[in-house]
Amino acid sequence: MSNSSEGDSSWTANGQKRVHPSALELGPRKKLTTQDPLVHRGCHFGRAVHAFCNVPTLLTNGIILLSEGGSDTLESLTVDERKEFVAFRELLRVVLGLESRLMASSKEEVVEIGELIQKGINGACADNTKGMKGAIIDWITPKGQALSPHIPRNVKSGRGFNHEHTGALLCPTGLDWTNIQTRTKLMNGEIQVPGDQWPVFLYADYSYDPEDLWNGLLWSGLLVSAYKHIFTSPSSIDHELKATRSGNARIHGMHCMTKASIAYVAMQARFGLTSAQIFSCTDLITDSERFYSSIMELLDDPDESDEVDQLITWWNRQVFPLYTTTE
């Protein structure tokens, strides 16, 4: 029998039929993998509620407070304990059915639940750090121009105080980047910048008013771009109408600003400008946790509520155009 072609098959030399895969079929599909809902919700909790949180401990302490009366005991708590319980209650809101699940779980199961949520927090932070790495170079490069020297989108070693442009953005508001001695000390590490010394890029037009802390604070266009990149979609940075209810905001039903999300975006943008290679909350050079916490302390300060309300309203109008103050 001679080799011949018939349809999608042919014959081998020993008379066996050879079947060719059809170009019009995809073939066997890979098994779909689904993310655990707790990991999924953990992503949002880290971005919008609290980025630096020991979730297993938060759950354990929260369960104890619930058993002791919950909100009825708030008056007897310290300021830090009250903040912790508020974060716990917000986590219960973010993860539907979590409270009943916790109450029916053993101590070991509570820890496992916490670890899954923690995985989501850490994973979201890593994803956003990776995405911000290249995008932030695009945002700080003037249109139609190039940075000199050039900063590759995928390389961080030339950033931070090693580069004139990123160094100027990261320079603490109390220092003068144009001063050669100051710049040199920042570059060689003689001047260490703790996380609670805020960089000038947090301010509108990168302009700091020493007479008025709130003048332009957290109104930076760079922060708005970073926020849209993380919470709505990268395309919404240039196309305003796409910025509503899309991306992570849409997925998690987020239609208005949270104070923690502003602090989170500021932290991610700051890290993206630095020369640090790996994000770590224990890194004392970038001091990211202290930076994040210092912003949260200001935004949570009752004495600053009027300014914070104005700031939140402004942010909602930038990112969620359909937002109204009546919501």
Burial of 102 from C-beta contacts in 10 A (0-12 / 13-18 / 19+): buried
Distance between CA 72 and CA 83 in Å, rounded?
A: 15
Mean pLDDT of 237-255: 63
**Domain residue ranges in the chain:** 37-121, 141-319
Q: What is the pTM of this model?
A: 0.85
**Which amino acid type is present at position 112?**
E
Lowest mean pLDDT among 67-76, 166-175, 310-319: 67-76
C-alpha 100/C-alpha 271 separation (Å) is 38
Question: For residue range 36-78, what is the model confidence (pLDDT) as tens digits?
Answer: 899 999 999 999 999 999 999 999 999 998 888 766 667 788 8
Q: Give the whole-number percent of the chain exceeding pLDDT 90.
A: 71
Residue 110 structure tokens: 């509570």
Output the average pLDDT for the chain.
Answer: 87
Rounded to the nearest 10 degrees, what angle do helices 79-94 and 55-67 cross at?
100
Q: Is the distance from CB of 238 to CB of 223 less than 8 angstroms?
A: no
What's the pLDDT score for residue 17? Answer: 60
Q: Encoding tokens for residue 88?
A: 């716990």
pLDDT (0 to 100) of residue 327: 44
Rounded CA gap, 102 and 258, in Å?
26
Which pLDDT value is given to residue 228? 93
The DSSP 8-state label assigned to residue 300 in this structure reads: T
pLDDT at 5 over 90: no
Query: Which of 107-111, 179-183, 214-218, 284-288 shows the lowest mean pLDDT across its residues?
Result: 284-288
* Count of positions (residues) in the chain: 327
Q: Can you tell me whether residue 199 is helix, strand or coil?
A: strand
Give the CA radius of gyration of the chain: 25
Q: What is the pLDDT of residue 247?
A: 76
